[in-house]
């Protein structure tokens, strides 16, 4: 996974950022002051954290960055809900962005879960005295 361009979740996060950034100029700033900038920062942080995660060498670091991306995705969702509730942006724009955001969240959760399952399996093998598989997380021999 060292080449971040091959991660589907990165592509989905970038698509989400493009969708959200395309509607940010439509936000009525009077109805939700300051939210435009916060929304732009949180949505771009998702893809940035995924890209950074893809280039980290260990599962704990990889997982930590993915959790940061998930936190930014949740923050983005909060901003989108505030914009919807205040009427600062038409609902159809919110829903399109929210659908993409939910898909990214699901991908991140599944990826984090897969790492945790692999870590638990490796720990179980260590406890049972079985030899550890010498494959790094990207599947390339060490």
8 A C-beta contact, residue 59 and residue 132 = no
Kindly report the number of other CB atoms within 10 A of residue 121's CB atom.
Answer: 11
Q: pLDDT category, 92, cuts 50, 70, 90?
A: very high
8 A C-beta contact, residue 43 and residue 16 = yes
8 A C-beta contact, residue 11 and residue 72 = no
C-alpha to C-alpha distance for 112 and 129, rounded to whole angstroms:
26
**pLDDT over 90 for what percent of the chain?**
63
C-alpha to C-alpha distance for 45 and 21, rounded to whole angstroms:
12
C-alpha to C-alpha distance for 75 and 55, rounded to whole angstroms:
24
C-alpha to C-alpha distance for 24 and 102, rounded to whole angstroms:
18
C-alpha to C-alpha distance for 141 and 55, rounded to whole angstroms:
16
Which range, of 6-15, 50-59, 114-123, averages the lowest pLDDT? 50-59
């Amino acid at each position: 996974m060292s080449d971040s361009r091959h991660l589907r979740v990165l592509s989905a996060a970038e698509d989400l950022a493009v969708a959200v950034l395309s509607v940010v100029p439509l936000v009525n700033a009077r109805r939700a002051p300051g939210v435009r900038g916060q929304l732009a920062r949180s949505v771009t942080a998702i893809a940035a954290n995924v890209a950074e995660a893809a280039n980290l060498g260990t599962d704990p670091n990889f997982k930590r960055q993915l959790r940061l991306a998930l936190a930014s995705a949740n923050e983005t969702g909060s901003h989108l809900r505030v914009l919807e509730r205040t009427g600062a942006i038409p609902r159809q724009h919110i829903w399109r962005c929210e659908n993409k955001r939910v898909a990214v969240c699901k991908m991140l959760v599944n990826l984090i879960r897969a790492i945790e399952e692999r870590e638990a399996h490796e720990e179980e093998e260590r406890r049972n005295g079985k030899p550890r598989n010498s494959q790094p997380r990207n599947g390339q021999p060490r």
